[in-house]
């Protein structure tokens, strides 16, 4: 099991990262929240990781904090919630907001996240309630966020749309969300941040 990576950030294009660790390049998928914490390309980065082994692939997921990884691991234990959906939850809502939804039975907010229907939202609320209580609440599961894309950023809006599609939004919805943001002078990560915040209001 690969539980932690520390190395040089070679490339980042949400939701993917490439990290050089002793000459070996690790491809890592991370939630948008983790991207907000990343250094510029060429900088040193440390991520808490979770390895998913499938018949056709080994998938490595990276998180900026232990709490974020803990929440991810709790989410994928919920029936019908896979790693992709767990990343969507982490990317679209803060840990504190997620905890509030769980405790107040607010399935409507959760259904605004892509790929989460009413039944899945209700299942998340039921199954995560006990886990949040055991962990002592959202403060033990702090979520972080997404950083600027490396190199030249010729079109931050297009980069933001691509990232939203990778998160699970349909292309038309991703375009609508990104274009609704006043992108003047904004980096792609800030466009994504504002689009995601608006999506769950």
The predicted-structure confidence for 142-168, as pLDDT tens digits, reads as follows 333 333 323 333 578 888 888 888 777
* 27 or 136, greater pLDDT: 27
Rounded Cα–Cα distance for residues 86 and 74 (Å): 9
Determine contact, residues 70/77, Cβ cutoff 8 Å: no
Q: Which pLDDT value is given to residue 133?
A: 58
pLDDT(137) > 50? no
pTM (2 decimals)? Answer: 0.68
The domains located in the chain, with CATH, are: 4-63 (2.40.50.140), 78-140 (1.10.150.20), 156-199 (1.10.8.10)
SS (H, E, C) 57-122: CEEEEEECCHHHHHHHHHHCCCCCCCHHHHHHHHHHCCHHHHHHHHHCCCHHHHCCCCCCCHHHHH
* 97 or 136, greater pLDDT: 97
Determine contact, residues 75/61, Cβ cutoff 8 Å: no
Give the phi and the psi of residue 75 in degrees, each rounded to 5: -65, -40
Residue-wise pLDDT for 76-86, tens only, equals 988 888 898 89
Q: At 155, which helix (H) or strand (E)?
A: none
């Amino acid at each position: 099991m690969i539980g932690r990576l520390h190395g040089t950030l070679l490339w980042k294009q949400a939701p993917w990262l490439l990290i050089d660790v002793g000459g070996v390049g690790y491809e890592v998928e991370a939630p948008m929240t983790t991207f907000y914490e990343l250094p510029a390309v060429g900088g040193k980065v440390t991520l808490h990781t979770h390895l998913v082994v499938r018949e056709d692939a080994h998938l490595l997921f990276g998180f900026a904090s232990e709490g974020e990884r803990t929440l991810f691991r709790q989410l994928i234990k919920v029936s019908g919630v896979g790693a992709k959906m767990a990343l969507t939850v982490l990317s679209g809502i803060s840990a504190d907001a997620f905890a509030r939804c769980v405790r107040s039975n607010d399935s409507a907010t959760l259904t605004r996240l892509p790929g989460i229907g009413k039944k899945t939202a209700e299942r998340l609320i039921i199954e995560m309630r006990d886990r949040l209580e055991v962990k002592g609440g959202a403060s033990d599961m702090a979520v972080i966020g997404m950083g600027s894309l490396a190199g030249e950023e010729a079109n931050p809006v297009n980069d933001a749309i691509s990232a939203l599609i990778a998160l699970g939004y349909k292309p038309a919805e991703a375009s609508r969300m990104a274009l609704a943001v006043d992108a003047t002078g904004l980096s792609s990560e800030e466009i994504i941040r504002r689009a995601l915040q608006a999506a769950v209001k």
